[in-house]
Amino acid sequence: MISIQNQIVLITGASSGIGAACAKIFARGGAKLILAARRIDKLDRLAKELVETGLTASANQIYLLELDVRDRPKVESAVNTLPEAWKAIDILINNAGLSRGLDKLHEGNFQDWEEMIDTNVKGLLYMTRYIVPGMVNRGRGHIVNIGSIAGRETYPKGNVYCASKAAVKAISEGLKQDLLGTPVRVTQIEPGLVETEFSNVRFHGDAEKAKNVYQGLTPLTGDDVADVVYFCATRSPHVNISEILLVPTDQATATLVHRK
């Protein structure tokens, strides 16, 4: 097991859910955190919580980045203008992602499609492209991509979301192949049902619909996924955990779920 004390960890989509949970567990391990998200007010609250609860030694251990990963010029600018003390990123957690709508493909909403593809695929690519060259040059680094069980198997009305997460799987595998011969590691985590803001976002704020997704079962929490991310990041340097499928005990496949 390796220490992540003072390692620089950049987490996208850090304002809530899995991203915020990752921030907490890596702060507890002594990492320096670059927290990136569109909602800077939520990042501010999270940073204060990390300091007030003693999870991080001081506010100097946290750098906040208001960032929409879909905006390539802004991603480039954000990475290139990081203060000198924050440039040498050790771990990139590509967590920013979302699902929009649950429609048959031939009835789908174009705006929903673009938001999913731009965030889940292109955003992940932009972050990776601008950060990984530095890891290769420094001879150390780890990229953790948050995929989904939806990237392994499609489900009715999940079409474009499933495609975007299948892309994350292919990109992760291709990146690992391209980095062969370097010490840089690549991990893909594929969660099943996780109770976060995910379903609320999918249903455009319809809280009732979102609640029904998790009715009658015990879903994963953001902390459950963060715990697995941390495990992967702290393995011995010669160990690369390439892929983990993580589901609740009440879930067997993307669609086969036991509800009480």
211: closest CA among 225, 223, 200?
A: 200
What is the side-by-side order of every strand in the sheet holding 243-246?
62-66, 32-37, 8-12, 91-94, 142-146, 185-191, 243-246
Which DSSP category does 249 fall into? T
Instruction: Return the H-helix or E-strand segment holding 91.
Output: strand 91-94
CB 144 within 8 A of CB 92: yes
Active-site pick, 63, 126, 130, 161: 161
Distance CA 24, CA 119 (A): 23
Residue 154, Cβ neighbours under 10 Å: how many?
16
Alpha helices in 117-156 (DSSP H): 124-138
Query: Is 230 designated active site?
Result: no
Tokens of 3: 């220490």
Give the active site residues. 161
